[in-house]
C-alpha cells in the first residue's frame, strides 16, 4: 500500500504554505480524504510535485526597481536602474520572469508594486529577488523584509554593496515627505477641533 502523508508533512517537504499546497492539489494532485475528514497525500505525488516546484523556482527571478520622485523617473534614473539589473542577470545567467518599476518613498510600506512582489513570494512563484541596493526595497527594517522573504525560501541579491551618492538626497526627500504628511494630518485635526469649538 502506498504511503500517505499529512498536509503539514507535504507542505514542509515542498517548502510551501498549506494554502499553496491546496492550490497545487487542485491543479496537479488529488488529496485523499480519510473517514475523519482529514486530507492525505500520496508520497509519490508530492515527490513529483517537488520536482516541478523546484524547477519552476530555479527559473523564476524578479527585479525590483525604485526611485523616490517623479523627477528622477523623468531624468531616466528608473530606466537606467532597470537596465543595470537586466545586464547583471544576463551576465549571471539568471532568467528574469518579473520586472517591477516603482516611484515611491522607501519609507512607504504600502507601495503597490512592492505588495505584488510579496504576493509572488508568498505564492512561491519566484526563487530570487534582484535589487540594486538594500534601500531600493526599504529604507529601514531591511532585516524584517529579508526575514519574511527568506522564510519562503526566496533569496535577495543586491547588485551593489555601496550606496550611491544620491542616497542622502533621496533619504532627505523621503523624510521631508513623511514630515509634510504628518504635519498636514495634525493641522487638519487642529482645524477640525477649532471649528467644533467655534460652533459651540
Residue 92 to residue 169: CA distance in whole angstroms: 31
Q: What is the per-residue pLDDT across 70-127, written as a single tens digit (0 to 9) for each?
A: 998 999 999 999 999 999 998 988 889 999 999 998 888 889 999 999 999 998 889 9
Question: What does the mean pLDDT of the chain come to?
Answer: 81
pTM for this one? 0.60
Mean pLDDT of 167-193: 64
Domains assigned to the chain: 4-41+48-56 (no CATH), 59-158 (3.40.50.1390)
pLDDT of residue 148: 94
Q: For strands 4-6 and 39-42, give the pairing.
A: antiparallel
60: left (phi over 0), alpha (psi -120 to 50) or beta: beta
Tell me which residues are annotated as active site.
68
Amino acid at each position: 500500500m502506498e504511503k500517505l502523508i499529512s498536509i503539514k508533512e507535504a507542505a514542509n517537504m515542498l517548502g510551501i504554505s498549506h494554502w499553496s499546497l491546496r492550490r497545487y492539489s487542485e491543479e496537479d494532485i488529488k488529496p485523499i480524504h480519510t473517514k475523519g475528514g482529514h486530507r492525505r497525500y500520496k508520497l509519490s505525488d508530492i515527490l513529483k510535485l517537488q520536482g516541478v516546484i523546484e524547477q519552476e523556482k530555479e527559473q523564476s527571478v524578479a527585479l525590483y526597481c525604485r526611485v523616490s520622485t517623479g523627477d528622477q523617473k523623468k531624468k531616466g534614473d528608473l530606466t537606467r536602474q532597470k537596465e543595470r539589473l537586466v545586464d547583471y542577470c544576463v551576465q549571471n545567467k539568471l532568467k528574469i520572469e518579473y520586472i517591477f518599476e516603482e516611484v515611491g518613498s522607501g519609507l512607504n510600506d504600502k507601495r503597490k508594486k512592492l505588495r505584488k512582489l510579496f504576493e509572488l513570494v508568498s505564492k512561491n512563484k519566484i526563487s530570487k529577488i534582484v535589487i540594486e541596493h538594500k534601500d531600493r526595497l526599504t529604507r529601514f527594517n531591511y532585516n524584517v523584509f529579508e526575514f519574511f522573504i527568506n522564510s519562503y525560501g526566496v533569496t535577495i541579491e543586491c547588485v551593489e554593496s555601496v550606496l550611491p551618492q544620491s542616497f542622502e538626497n533621496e533619504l532627505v526627500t523621503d523624510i521631508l515627505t513623511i514630515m509634510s504628511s504628518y504635519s498636514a494630518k495634525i493641522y487638519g485635526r487642529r482645524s477640525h477641533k477649532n471649528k467644533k469649538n467655534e460652533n459651540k
